[in-house]
Amino acid sequence: MKVHNVTLQDGCGIDVSDHLSMSYSPRAIDWIEHALDPENFTESDVRCVGTRR
pLDDT tens, residue by residue, 2-20: 888 888 888 888 888 888 8
pTM attached to this predicted model? 0.79
Q: What is the mean pLDDT of residues 22-35?
A: 91
The DSSP H or E segment spanning 28 is helix 26-36
Q: How many CB atoms lie within 10 A of CB 15?
A: 21
Pick from 7, 6, 15: nearest CA to 47: 15
10: left (phi over 0), alpha (psi -120 to 50) or beta: beta
